[in-house]
Amino acid sequence: DTEVTQTPKHLVMGMTNKKSLKCEQHMGHRAMYWYKQKAKKPPELMFVYSYEKLSINESVPSRFSPECPNSSLLNLHLHALQPEDSALYLCASSQSPGRGELFFGEGSRLTVL
Amino acid sequence: LAKTTQPISMDSYEGQEVNITCSHNNIATNDYITWYQQFPSQGPRFIIQGYKTKVTNEVASLFIPADRKSSTLSLPRVSLSDTAVYYCLVGEANTGFQKLVFGTGTRLLVSP
């Protein structure tokens, strides 16, 4: 199994809603990443989890809250988002932090109304 | 900080070889150079990774000169399905290379 699975594929939410994005991998990878990608722009790193601990937070607003319940799961909790937060949210994993191939999921397309 | 620079776009025709160059003047001594391909509304997909000289796999070659300040992704005999955005990445040494930063990307358009 070389897949990173992200759910939901599409999400529409209002600015007062609370929702979560989920990411799962069963490759035994010990690093997991959240990236945000706006249209026609490169992915921008948001968070890195290394051995289930948050190791990098790229000064992301607190309305985005990451969580790593175990080595296979990564969540991104969303609350009080703004329309400009609409984007493709990509999860990735790698065998070890900072090394090796990044395996990306297909992304969750978020629209904030 | 590690930063990469790539041409914004390139055009090619089916069957031609395409070479995309990435500049990474501040690459750290221990860092690898990695290239990814991305189709619209999909996650990036790994193409190739290298540290120095030349690396080749079943889909591409990666050429890295001795000073490692640039790298060139070579796609032999491209087809229409190679139309995509190509990104090169290097890590940032002060984060233990965990911070993997995408360059601006090169949009490759392959025409019949």
CA distance B109 to chain A (A): 14
Residues of B in contact with A95 (CB under 8 A): none
| pLDDT tens for each residue of A47-70 | 999 999 999 999 999 999 999 999
pLDDT at residue A1 in the model: 62
pLDDT over 90, % of chain A: 88
Q: How far is CA B35 from CA A36, A102, B20, B54, B72, in A?
A: 18, 10, 10, 14, 10
pLDDT digits (tens, 9 = 90+) for B39-73: 998 999 999 999 989 999 999 999 999 999 999 99
Query: From its phi and psi, is residue A85 left (phi > 0), alpha (psi between -120 and 50) or beta?
Result: alpha
Q: Is the pLDDT of residue B19 over 90?
A: yes
List the structure tokens of A23.
Answer: 């990411």
Report how far residue A91's alpha carbon sits from residue A94's, in angstroms, rounded to the nearest whole number: 11
Mutate to test the interface with B, among A41, A44, A104, A110 (most CBs of B within 10 A): A104
